[in-house]
Chains A and B, each alone.
Chain A
């Protein structure tokens, strides 16, 4: 069955290093979301795209985070340089259409920055 895939599933890196997380949305879904989940902050929306265009990245720290969709089958989230406070689980989700349709989440990337 169709699923959102994310790579890597786990990433441990040292402070200052660049981290790139990748997401493959469900084929045909035109809206892609990036979320960050921590115990303290819960599930936060970082950015989302529709038809590959960024619509909202207000939840993303601009100085170190960047999100792109090079094509319809790939979304990337980069952190450069990474900091220990970036340690979290990063989820990608996709949806079909615009508006409040159900979101399909990927398995997440668990990032640990030491």
Chain B
């Protein structure tokens, strides 16, 4: 079936280090969204990418959508303890008309 894979499953970094999570789809996506879920909380929308090769930035966060619209990445520069949480990508597939969530990457930051 349609799947959105996300790696790594966990990442434990020292505060100040960079962090990247990768998202890959078995099929072409019409767009991709990223969500953050703090421990004990609920997913919160971060951003949506629509165009092939699109790059968007939010302060220390950089989001990319691959040229083939099958992969995406989220990069955090100089992590802070407030970045702790699980980051999910979610791909929209026109064929199924629904959002498919990746398995998430859990980020832990050592102060």
Contacts and interface: CB of A to CB of B under 8 A. Distances in A.
Contacts of B48: 100, 102
A52 B102 CA distance: 27
A106 B99 contact: no
Give the interface size class of chain A.
10 to 19
A104 B48 CA distance: 13
A104 B38 CA distance: 15
Interface in A69-114: 91, 93, 99-100, 102-108
Contacts of A108: 42
Given A45-B98, A45-B99, A100-B99, A106 B42 contact: yes
Interface residues of B, number: 19
A43 interface: yes
A107 B42 contact: yes
A87 B91 CA distance: 26
B10 interface: no
Given A102-B45, A108-B42, A42 B103 contact: yes
Contacts, number: 42
Contacts of B100: 45
A6 to B, nearest CB: 9
Given A100-B48, A106-B42, A56 B98 contact: yes
A74 to B, nearest CB: 19
Interface string B69-104: 000000000000000000010001000011111111
Interface of B: 30-31, 33, 41-45, 48, 88, 92, 97-104
26 contacts: A35-B101, A42-B101, A42-B102, A43-B88, A43-B101, A43-B104, A45-B99, A45-B100, A55-B97, A56-B98, A91-B43, A99-B92, A100-B30, A100-B33, A100-B48, A100-B92, A102-B48, A103-B33, A103-B43, A103-B45, A103-B99, A105-B43, A105-B44, A106-B42, A107-B41, A107-B42
